Amino acid sequence: MANDIEYPILTLEPTACVADLPFIDYQNNTLFIDNVSTKTLTQTYGTPLYVYSKNALLANYQAYVESFNALNDVHICYAVKSNSNLAILATLANAGAGFDIVSIGELARVLKAGGQAQKVVYSGVGKTADDIATALNAGIGCFNVEAISEIKLISEVATKLGKVAPIALRINPDVDAKTHPYISTGLKDNKFGISHDNAIEAYRFAKNLPSIEIVGIDCHIGSQLTQIQPFVDTLDKFAKLIDELFAIGISLRHVDLGGGLGVRYTNENPASVSEYANALLPKLLDLQERYGLGLHLEPGRNISANAGVLLTNVDVLKPTEHKNFAIVDASMSELIRPALYGSVMAVIPTDLANDTTPQVWDIVGSVCESSDFLAKNRTLSLQVGDTLAITGAGAYGFVMASNYNTRPRPAEILCDNGTHRIVRERETLECLWQGEHI
């Protein structure tokens, strides 16, 4: 799909690309991450290299806390799937965050990082009986339920364990999030959630089952939303549904609006967290006043994306009559978003002192696939040996990396106001066949 997209020539001003990124900037023509020089990072750890800013993560998380502080009982549950490194999770857990998980593996990571089980919401469409039992025994805060059959299964497992399972039903509101079809989740033809038309019936069914405690209503309409209106439309639908539920004796403790607020990768103009909050707060305050409802949010990309970059070295310059190719040491194995979604991410130099004549380049990796590209038609001044930074790589970067073409996955580094430390070792060749047997 990505290869069918028309990519216009894109010229990005490097300083403008980082102007809105917290704790990522140029100092004396060199790119710094949380006051650590990228030259220091590449000399110390090599490339390709994922680098995150601890203070950017905290600033992005705190924006949610402050923007929704007019409400009581607000839970900001970071979506672990966006970046599940233990150091990232520990940083957010120490700041008071909850967590949105979609697998038992993610639950294990949250607990390992010091997260509290009661601050965990368990989303996802394919929970097994073993998954449910593990989550119940850990004492998670809530299951976000995707189907009638799942409600029944949770009831059966909880009854066998002698526990009560707190649940919120994920309702599919059939709202167009106006985002990429692969990351749109709130339309009636998506696999997620229970149809809005069947919501009352599903809640009635849940109320009559043993070992079930209904605590909320949940949705997630998509990812990388740059407009606020789809969120407003969803909350309008939910407000009417909540009125109906309370009228028939089904009370809730919270409304969960999921995540999905977008970020700027290149030229997007997404709403800020404060603008998002201001659009929703009047209705949320009304629901709080009338029913005592708290709020759950599940941001992932909006917290971690622009807190991280992928550093990659230019190994080969290959100009041709048709295209100019810059072959770098990162690839679709390290960052699959451009190949999978056709995502357009900023690619900027780490050193602004390069005076080479600018040309239009495709930035590609060495994986044996024509879909292996990181950017197309970018105007850049390049020399062999240059280091490039792909911004916005803190979300859905390393977590989607693979060993395709038998490539070791890169290291991950966390920077904190001038200090830097390794938070995941670079894989060795021996790591690639660990667990295999001849």
For residues 144 and 75, give the distance between their C-alpha atoms in angstroms, rounded to a whole number.
Answer: 14
pLDDT of residue 4: 67
- 124-297 CATH fold: TIM Barrel (3.20.20)
Average pLDDT over residues 19-24: 95
Residue 240 φ then ψ, to 5°: -65, -40
User: Any idea what the Cα angle at residue 292 is, between residues 291 and 293, rounded to 5°?
Assistant: 90
Average pLDDT over residues 375-386: 97
For residues 102 and 303, give the distance between their C-alpha atoms in angstroms, rounded to a whole number.
Answer: 18
pLDDT of residue 173: 87
Which sequence positions are flagged as catalytic? 368
Joined together, the tokens standing for residue 34 give 């949380």
Instruction: Give tens-digit pLDDT for 185-205.
Output: 444 555 578 999 999 999 999
Q: Is residue 183 scored above 80 in pLDDT?
A: no
pLDDT of residue 162: 98
Strand order in the sheet with 30-33: 24-27, 30-33, 36-37
Joined together, the tokens standing for residue 415 give 């920077």
pLDDT of residue 354: 85
* CATH for 2-53+305-433 (2.40.37.10, 3.40.190.10, 2.60.420.10, 3.30.2350.10): 2.40.37.10
- Supply the DSSP symbol for 225: B
Average pLDDT over residues 231-241: 95
Average pLDDT over residues 310-327: 96
For residues 433 and 368, give the distance between their C-alpha atoms in angstroms, rounded to a whole number.
Answer: 20
Q: Is residue 182 scored above 90 in pLDDT?
A: no
For residues 128 and 54, give the distance between their C-alpha atoms in angstroms, rounded to a whole number.
Answer: 35
Instruction: Give tens-digit pLDDT for 144-181.
Output: 999 999 999 999 999 999 999 999 999 998 776 554 44
Q: How many C-beta atoms lie closer than 10 Å to residue 249's C-beta?
A: 8
Q: Is residue 15 scored above 80 in pLDDT?
A: yes
Q: Is residue 421 scored above 90 in pLDDT?
A: yes
When mean pLDDT is compared across 77-81, 154-158, 221-225, 292-296, the lowest value belongs to 221-225
Q: Is residue 143 scored above 90 in pLDDT?
A: yes
Instruction: Give tens-digit pLDDT for 58-68.
Output: 999 999 999 99
The answer to whether the beta carbons of residues 194 and 146 sit under 8 Å apart is yes
For β-strands 98-101 and 74-79, DSSP reports them as: parallel
For the chain, the structural domain boundaries read 2-53+305-433, 124-297
pLDDT of residue 271: 95
For residues 206 and 132, give the distance between their C-alpha atoms in angstroms, rounded to a whole number.
Answer: 16
Q: Side-chain half-sphere of 53: how many Cα atoms within 13 Å?
A: 31
